[in-house]
Amino acid sequence: MSGTTSTAASSAAPSGRGGFAQSVTDSLVMAKRNLIRMVRIPEVVIFGLIQPIMFVVLFSYVFGGSIKVPGAGTDAGTYRQFLMAGIFAQTVTFATAGAGAGIAEDMHKGLIDRFRSLPMARGAVLTGRTLADLVQTALTLVVLAIVAAIVGWRAHDGILNALAGFGLLLLLGYAFTWIGALIGLTVRTPEAATSGGLIWLFPLTFISVAFVPSQNMPAFLRHIAEWNPFSATVVACRDLFGNFPPHYPVPDAWPMQHPVLASLIWSVVIVLVFRTLAVRKYRSAAV
């Protein structure tokens, strides 16, 4: 009798199909599903563009002549060059909240349970969601770069370095969507996922070198800012975009001296850690 029950239970919950190729196929199917949903609800993309554009305009024109950049003083034009890598990085990390809210909504509606009953790769649902968010983030970066060019920002070190900088930004954004995925699987409502996805991002992005140089901070905050993974990507992009003032004193901290390598290491580590945790949580989650 117990053997019959075990057999029925196992047949009621199909196991995911194995193989890397099948996992890729399932992930792309889920990514397509999420992209179609984004297209059908365009206001989500539109509202996602408004906030970074507001940050560009406000920081450029409200604070542009007030914040001193070492090696350049308070020149507004120089600050716009210094600022934009921080705005780009903040924009890609804020995709965390959208990823978390989307997964939490699927959990709330019972879709996750339906997906888990299908014979598909266990990580495909989450991978598909994060890939779709990556596409949306790339679109947002394109629009934001156009707005930045309008207010005076330029990439001075060539197209290849500029593309490498945007690549680091997208990798950071993709890494942070896995944090959002874990949050979305952990909380009970989309509202909680949105709040949980944003509340820790504000100190992460502002205790960094994104908007002000770390030299202006108290000593304990300066060390946090210089070892912040967010800061590493910001400094790497400034370096690749050629947006540092000529005599800018780079801090001595290792991530600030080797920002491209530090950015890659931080992003890869975040993906590996939080993808593992999110997939494990997905397998055991219950609505």
- Give per-residue pLDDT as tens, 225-269: 999 999 999 999 999 999 988 778 888 899 999 999 999 999 999
pLDDT of residue 215 exceeding 70: yes
pLDDT of residue 18: 54
- Give per-residue pLDDT as tens, 127-176: 998 999 999 899 989 989 998 898 888 898 889 999 999 999 999 999 99
Instruction: Please give the average per-residue pLDDT across 186-194, as a whole number.
Output: 83
- Give per-residue pLDDT as tens, 45-64: 787 778 788 888 887 777 76
pLDDT of residue 118: 76
Structure-model confidence comparison of residues 79 and 243, the more confident one:
243
pLDDT of residue 169: 96
Q: Residues 96, 180: contact at Cβ < 8 Å?
A: yes
Domain ranges of the chain: 17-284
Query: What average pLDDT is seen over the chain?
Result: 83
163: number of Cβ within 10 Å: 12
